Amino acid sequence: MNEKEMLYQKRLERYITAMDCGKPDMVPVAFGVGEWITKYTGTTLQEIYYDLDKSTDVVSEMLPGLDFDIFKGGPALWWPPMFDAMGSKLYKFPGIGVDENSTFQFNEQEYMKAEDYDEFIASPTEWLVNHYLPNISTELENPGSYRSTVALIKGAAAFAMQGGIMAAAWGKWTVENGIVGQGTGFTKAPFDTLGDALRGMKGVLLDLRRRPEKVLAACDAITPHNVNCGLAGPGADTRFPCFAPLHRGAYPFLNPKQWDTFYWPSLKATIEGMWAKGKRMLFYAEGDWTPYLEKILELPDKSIVFQIDTTDAKKAKKILGGRFCLQGGVPTTLLTYGTPEKVKEHIKRTFDELAYDGGFILDTGGVVMGDAKKENAIAMIEAARKYGIY
Amino acid sequence: MKDELQIAMADLDEERTLMLVEERVKAGYSSGEIIESCRRGVEVVGEKYSDSHYYLSDLIMSEEILKGVMRILEPYIPTNGAVKGLSIVMGTIEGDIHDLGKNIIIYLLRSSGYQVHDLGVDVTPERFIQAVNETKASILGISVLLSFCIGSIKKVVDLLVDAGLRDKVKVVVGGYPVNQEVKEFTGADFYANDVTEAMKIYREILEIKENLV
């Protein structure tokens, strides 16, 4: 084993021990190279999004010398050419629809109408192919047509190309730096699949009162697909958690009765379905989940890693600690408005409060945006090593 | 609380609210009387939200019901509806297209009788200044979700200073990422992370300003 391989093994053990609620040799640290990097590289965000070589190069240049454990990835979340190939209406990307240095934005619409529920529930995939794809993509408006077929092939080819390029880049980053990738696979809460992608937020929130039985039936229909999505993408891997960004379950979107009735049962079933196959979820609880911590205790031990964004961290530790690994501790705004000294003080305090008995991974609470300062991001890693030894 | 319409509105019973409005129109009630019943219902909704009995989904439902009421009443509303004297300019800052919080605040302010000029989303600092100038607004509300857009809010405040308007208008920033640090950085007067806080701030400013008028 060379030096980097040994480093990888050590970091992997640290990560897995923490996820199993144990106490490793030191607090594992997660780190990602966010959009903020473009301020320091002389590139526009548009270049970073469209040119995969450029976006992987800036990461390759940044990583050497940084001592952290878990890598969350580079600055471009999407590769727009795949969406462009299908004439996708879903996103505005840097330079197209928004300023070249502005981040991407989701164009939320009711891509599924209230009257579509029955057909969707009867056969979700069939409905997506016949109606959703034509609704979200100008090139796919006429399924089965020459134009639509070519656009599908182009989109699929772009997806495969991106996958190949990113896999090679992750391989290189891992081998050269001995860092561990955060997760494998992706899924969502069924209610979020329905709300984010299909009915839109307002649509789904009004449905809760206007057609509640349809919402429940749709969430039930989506659940097996979301279990499969979390498992099939990563193939057989069960070492690393499946990423699940969670949205409408945050306080205060749904009232407690709605949360219990509409949000939780199908999310719980998704988690249990994956856990039955040994797959853990990175429960990426964006926003504030404080009122629901007790309900989350219903999940099997260790079946999730709970991400603390604006959830009350001390309460999360008190209620979930020991049962589930907690991840987070650094507010994203601290990386923007703080100073390296403030970041260091904060991390020392966070470790005292949240990490003392293990089962904790240091990370930023949510997605770090383009306004963060590099010196604060570096200070976070350095402080974690200084104060994080058990 | 004995007004059935007010109760139906407060209970978010869409079908019953709309039915009662139709009935009252037929029975010869004025649009003003009907709106007043609904407004009181909305007030209860706002109180229930503050007490954590209602959540965002409930506020959105109440907005939707009131829209339905207004559709029924539109033909009967006199064109020059009386509104309170002070006006408010609101919008989502440049680079950001999120408008949920902004729309809820606007809806609650309008149902309390205030005149709100909604500039929409992705609003440039220059456009905010122009609107404050044109409307002589007492409050400028700026909504933001994406933290990297906060720099543009600072620009709005700086431009207000340059235009000599800074003393004439209170600036409130609202949204998920704002806090004391953001308030200080942008030079805003107030910040709010949720609807209850924001409404409290607006009411306080408006009460003070109304007393001065």
Q: How much is the ipTM here?
A: 0.87
Say yes or no: B14 and B55 in one domain.
yes
Q: Is A286:A366 a contact under the CB 8 Å cutoff?
A: yes
Distance of alpha carbon A138 from its chain centroid, rounded?
Answer: 27
Say yes or no: B9 and B107 in one domain.
no
Is the pLDDT score of B211 beyond 80?
no
Does residue A264 sit within a domain? Answer: no
Ranking A36-45, A348-357, B203-212 by mean pLDDT, the lowest is: B203-212
Say what the pLDDT of residue B213 is.
60
**A310 contacts on B by Cβ (under 8 Å):** 176
Say yes or no: B130 and B175 in one domain.
yes
Say yes or no: B44 and B132 in one domain.
no
Pick A371's closest partner by Cβ from B148, B176, B194. B148
Best residue in B147, B150, B155, B173 for a mutation probing chain A (most A CBs within 10 Å):
B147
Say yes or no: B116 and B186 in one domain.
yes
Boundary of a domain, candidates B76, B100, B121:
B76
What are the pLDDT digits (tens) for A291-305? Answer: 999 999 999 999 999
Q: Is A43:A389 a contact under the CB 8 Å cutoff?
A: no
How many beta carbons lie within 10 A of that of residue A236, not counting itself? 10
Best residue in B16, B51, B55, B184 for a mutation probing chain A (most A CBs within 10 Å):
B55
Query: The domain spanning residue B149 has which CATH number?
Result: 3.40.50.280
Q: A330: which 2 tokens?
A: 């650094």
Does residue B196 sit within a domain? Answer: yes
Query: Sheet of A105-106: strands edge to edge?
Result: A97-98, A91-94, A105-106
Total count of domains within chain B? 2
Total count of domains within chain A? 1
- How many angstroms separate the CA atoms of A107 and A129, rounded? 20
Answer whether B147 sits within 8 Å of A253, measured CB to CB.
no
What are the pLDDT digits (tens) for A322-340? Answer: 999 999 999 998 999 899 9
Does residue A59 sit within a domain? Answer: yes
Is the pLDDT score of B71 beyond 60?
yes
Residues in CB range of A184: below 8 A, 6 or more apart = A233, A234, A235, A237, A239, A240, A241, A242
Does residue B148 sit within a domain? Answer: yes
Does residue A171 sit within a domain? Answer: yes
Does residue A109 sit within a domain? Answer: yes
- How many angstroms separate the CA atoms of A343 and A375, rounded? 10
Q: Is A336 on the interface with B (CB under 8 A)?
A: yes
Is the pLDDT score of A346 beyond 80?
yes
Is the pLDDT score of A68 beyond 50?
yes
Mean pLDDT of B115-140: 94
Does residue A113 sit within a domain? Answer: yes
- Average pLDDT for chain A: 96
Say yes or no: B41 and B137 in one domain.
no
Partners of A325 in the β-ladder: A305
- Residue A120's Cβ-count burial label (10 Å; 0-12, 13-18, 19+) is buried
How many angstroms away from the CA of A168 is the closest CA of chain B?
31
Does residue B81 sit within a domain? Answer: no
- Band (pLDDT 50/70/90 cuts) for residue B16 is very high
In SS3 terms, A86-134 reads as CCECCEEEECEEECCCCCCEECCCCCCCHHHHHHHHHCHHHHHHHHHHH
Residues in CB range of B14: below 8 A, 6 or more apart = A209, A210, B61, B64, B65, B68
Q: Is A255 on the interface with B (CB under 8 A)?
A: yes
Does residue A13 sit within a domain? Answer: no
Say yes or no: B105 and B20 in one domain.
no
Q: Is A251:A213 a contact under the CB 8 Å cutoff?
A: no
Say yes or no: B67 and B121 in one domain.
no
- How many angstroms separate the CA atoms of A68 and A147, rounded? 47
Residues in CB range of B149: below 8 A, 6 or more apart = B93, B94, B95, B96
What are the pLDDT digits (tens) for A141-156? Answer: 999 999 999 999 999 9
- How many angstroms separate the CA atoms of B140 and B172, rounded? 6
Say yes or no: B59 and B138 in one domain.
no
How many angstroms away from the CA of A9 is the closest CA of chain B?
36
How many angstroms away from the CA of B93 is the closest CA of chain A?
13
State the residue range of the domain holding A50: 30-66+74-177
Q: Is A201 on the interface with B (CB under 8 A)?
A: yes
Answer whether A336 sits within 8 Å of B58, measured CB to CB.
no
User: What residues of chain B have any CB closer than 8 angstroms to a CB in chain A?
Assistant: 12, 14, 52-58, 60-61, 64, 95, 97, 100, 146-148, 150-151, 176-177, 179, 181-182, 185, 194
| Nearest 10 degrees: Cα torsion A247, A249, A252, A257 | 150
Q: Is A375 on the interface with B (CB under 8 A)?
A: no
Does residue A5 sit within a domain? Answer: no
- How many angstroms separate the CA atoms of A6 and A34, rounded? 27
Residues in CB range of A109: below 8 A, 6 or more apart = A89, A200
**A103 contacts on B by Cβ (under 8 Å):** 146, 148
- Band (pLDDT 50/70/90 cuts) for residue B46 is confident
Does residue A366 sit within a domain? Answer: no
State the residue range of the domain holding B91: 87-212
Mean pLDDT of B178-203: 90
The closest alpha carbon to A89, from A7, A188, A197, belongs to A197
How many angstroms away from the CA of B157 is the closest CA of chain A?
18
- How many angstroms separate the CA atoms of B98 and B83, rounded? 28
Query: The domain spanning residue B40 has which CATH number?
Result: 1.10.1240.10
